[in-house]
C-alpha cells in the first residue's frame, strides 16, 4: 500500500519500515479471524460447557473481525 524505499535497485529502508498503522490493524484483524475460526471449530466439535465458552468467545472475535474490516477499509 505504501511502498518501500528503493535506491540503486536495492532496498534502502530500515528494519521497521514494514510497520505502519495499516499493517498493525491488519495483523490484529487477522488474529481475531483465526481465533474466530478456532471458536467455530470448538462449537461444532465441543459439547456442554466447552461449546458455551466457545460461543461466547466467538461472538467477541466476530465483533473484532468486523471492526478490523471496517478500520482497514476506511
Domain-located, residue 16: no
* Predicted pLDDT at 64: 96
Domain range for 46: 22-73
Per-position pLDDT tens, the chain of length 74 = 567 778 788 877 777 877 888 888 999 999 999 999 999 999 999 999 999 999 999 999 999 999 999 998 88
* Predicted pLDDT at 16: 83
* Predicted pLDDT at 7: 79
* Predicted pLDDT at 1: 57
Domain-located, residue 54: yes
- Other C-beta atoms closer than 10 Å to the C-beta of 26 total 15
Burial 38-66 (b: 16+ CB within 10 A, else e): ebeebbeeeeeeeeeebeebbeebbebbe
Domain-located, residue 39: yes
* Predicted pLDDT at 19: 83
Q: Domain count of the chain? A: 1
Domain-located, residue 4: no
- Other C-beta atoms closer than 10 Å to the C-beta of 28 total 16
d(CA 38, CA 2) in angstroms, rounded, equals 32
Amino acid at each position: 500500500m505504501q511502498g518501500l524505499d528503493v535506491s540503486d535497485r536495492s532496498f534502502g529502508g530500515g528494519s521497521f519500515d514494514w510497520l505502519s498503522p495499516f499493517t498493525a490493524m491488519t495483523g490484529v484483524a487477522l488474529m481475531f479471524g483465526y481465533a474466530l475460526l478456532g471458536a467455530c471449530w470448538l462449537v461444532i466439535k465441543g459439547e456442554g460447557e466447552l461449546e458455551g465458552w466457545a460461543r461466547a468467545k466467538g461472538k467477541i472475535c466476530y465483533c473484532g473481525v468486523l471492526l478490523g474490516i471496517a478500520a482497514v477499509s476506511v
